[in-house]
Amino acid sequence: MQAIRANETGLRVDEKLERLKLYGLSSPALLLILVILVIPVGWLFYVSFIGGDGQFSLENYQRMIKRSSYMRIFRTTFEVSVVTTALCIVIGYPLAYFLSQLPARLANLCMITVLLPFWTSLLVRTYAWLVLLQKKGLVNDWAIALGLWDEPIKMVHNMTGTLIGMVHIMLPFLILPVYGSMKAIDRDYMKAASNLGASPKRAFWDVFFPLTLPGLFAGTLMVFILCLGFFVTPAVLGGGKVIMVSMKIVSNIELFVSWGAASALGVVLLAMTFAILWVASRFLKLDQIAGGGH
Amino acid sequence: MRSHDSDALPISIKGVTKTYGPVHALDDVSLEVNSGEFITLLGPSGSGKTTLLMVIAGFTRPDCGSLKFGDREVIRTPPHLRDLGMTFQSYALFPHMTVAGNVAYPLKLRKLPKAEIAERVERALDTVQLGGYGDRGIDQLSGGQKQRVALARSIVFEPRILLMDEPLSALDKKLRDQMQIELRHLHEKLGMTTVYVTHDQREALTMSDRIAVVNKGRIMQLATPRELYERPANRFVADFIGDSTFLPVEKTGVGISYNGMALTFSEAPPDTEKLILMIRPERIVLSPEGPREGVNNFSATAVEVVYQGDSFLLHARLDDGTQIALRGGVRGASLSALPNVGDTVTLTLAPEDTVLIDGSEV
Report which DSSP code applies to B251: E
HEC profile for B68-133? EECCEECCCCCHHHCCCEEECCCCCCCCCCEHHHHHHHHHHHCCCCHHHHHHHHHHHHHHCCCCCC
- Helix crossing, A104-119 with A68-101: angle to 10°? 160
Dist CA B356 CA B248 (whole Å): 10
The count of C-alpha atoms lying within 13 angstroms of the C-alpha of B317, restricted to the half-sphere facing its C-beta, is 9
User: Smallest CA–CA separation between A274 and chain B, in Å?
Assistant: 28
Looking at residue B3, its pLDDT comes to 42
| Contact status of A196 with chain B (Cβ, < 8 Å) | yes
Interface test with A, best of B54, B96, B155, B197 (most A CBs within 10 A): B96
- Is residue B4 scored above 80 in pLDDT? no
Tell me the H-state helices in chain B. Answer: 49-57, 99-109, 114-127, 143-155, 173-190, 201-207, 225-230, 235-240
CA of A213 vs chain B CAs: smallest distance (Å): 11
B5 vs B171 pLDDT, higher one: B171
A228 to each of A85, A222, A271, B181, how far by Cα in Å? 10, 10, 11, 62
**Residue A137 binned pLDDT confidence (cut-offs 50, 70, 90):** confident
Mean of per-residue pLDDT scores for chain B: 91
Q: Of B122, B49, B126, nearest to B89 (Cα)? A: B49
Residue of A195, A199, A208 to mutate for B, most B C-beta atoms under 10 A: A195
Is it the case that residue A241 has pLDDT exceeding 70? yes
Q: What is the pLDDT of residue A2?
A: 56
How far is residue A45's CA from residue B39's CA, in Å, rounded to a whole number? 74
Q: Does A199 touch chain B (CB under 8 A)?
A: yes
What is the rounded average pLDDT of the residues B294-303? 93
Residue pair A194/A232 in contact (Cβ under 8 Å)? The answer is: no
Q: How confident is the model at residue A228 (pLDDT cuts 50, 70, 90)?
A: very high
- The CATH classification of domain B11-233, taken from the options 3.40.50.1820, 3.40.50.80, 3.30.70.20, 3.40.50.300: 3.40.50.300
* CA angle centred on A73, ends A69 and A75, rounded to 5°: 115
Is this model's pTM higher than 0.80 or not?
Answer: yes
CB contact under 8 A, B59 and A189: no
C-beta atoms of A195 and B78 within 8 A: no
Q: Are strands B210-215 and B218-223 parallel, antiparallel or unpaired?
A: antiparallel
Q: Does an H or E element contain A265, and which?
A: helix A259-283
Q: For residue B202, which amino acid is it?
A: R
The shortest C-alpha distance from B84 to chain A (Å) reads 7
What pLDDT is recorded for position A282?
81
Per-residue pLDDT at A287:
54
Q: Do strands B311-318 and B296-307 pair parallel, antiparallel, or not at all (unpaired)?
A: antiparallel
Q: CA-CA distance, B286 to A255, in Å (whole number)? A: 105
Cα–Cα nearest to B40, from B189, B173, B222: B222
Pairing relationship of beta strands B161-165 and B85-87 according to DSSP bridges: parallel
Hey, where are the domains in chain B? 11-233, 243-358
The residue ranking higher by pLDDT, B72 or B273, is B72
Q: Give the fold, CATH level 3, of B243-358.
A: OB fold (Dihydrolipoamide Acetyltransferase, E2P) (2.40.50)
Give the CA angle between residues B222, B285, B316 to the nearest 5°. Answer: 95
A205 CB within 8 Å of a chain B CB: no
Q: Where are the domains of chain A?
A: 1-47, 60-291
Cβ neighbour number for residue B35 with a 10 Å cutoff: 16
Report the pLDDT averaged over residues A8-28: 91
Distance CA B77, CA B66 (A): 11
Other CB atoms within 10 A of residue A154 CB: 14
Q: Touching check for B246 and chain A: CB below 8 Å?
A: no
Phi, psi of A27 (to 5 degrees): -65, -35
Q: CA B340 from chain center: how many Å?
A: 37
Q: Residue A22, class by beta-carbon neighbours within 10 Å (0-12 exposed, 13-18 middle, 19+ buried)?
A: exposed
Residue A229 Cα to chain centre, angstroms: 9
User: Is the pLDDT confidence value at A149 over 90?
Assistant: no
Q: Is B70 left (phi over 0), alpha (psi -120 to 50) or beta?
A: left
Instruction: Write b or e for each residue in A105-125: b if 16 or more Cβ atoms lie within 10 A of its Cβ, otherwise e.
Output: eebeeebeebeebeeeebeeb
pLDDT greater than 90 at residue B38: yes
Calpha distance B288→B340 (Å, rounded): 12
Does residue B285 sit at the A interface (CB-CB below 8 Å)? no
A181-204 confidence digits (pLDDT tens)? 999 999 999 999 999 999 999 999
Minimal-distance CA residue of chain B relative to A192: B92
pLDDT of residue A197: 95
From the list B109, B150, B80, the residue with the least C-alpha distance to B117 is B109
Q: At B296, which helix (H) or strand (E)?
A: strand B296-307
Beta bridge partners of B307: B312
* pLDDT tens string B116-161: 999 999 999 998 889 899 999 999 999 889 999 999 999 999 999 9
Q: Chain B: residue nearest A207 by CA? A: B94
DSSP state of B7: -
Q: Are residues A188 and B110, on separate chains, in Cβ contact within 8 Å?
A: no
Angle at B90 between CA B49 and CA B3, to 5 degrees: 75
- Amino acid identity, position A213: L
Residues B183 and B147: beta-carbon distance below 8 Å:
no
Q: From edge to edge, which strands make up the β-sheet containing B245-248? A: B245-248, B275-279, B355-358
CB B156 within 8 A of CB B3: no
Instruction: Give ipTM to 2 decimals.
Output: 0.84
The reply to whether residue B109 touches residue A198, judged by beta carbons under 8 angstroms, is: yes
Give dist(CA B287, CA B326) in Å, integer. Answer: 12
CATH 3.90.1150.10 fits A60-291, yes or no: no
Does B69 contact A at CB distance below 8 Å?
A: no
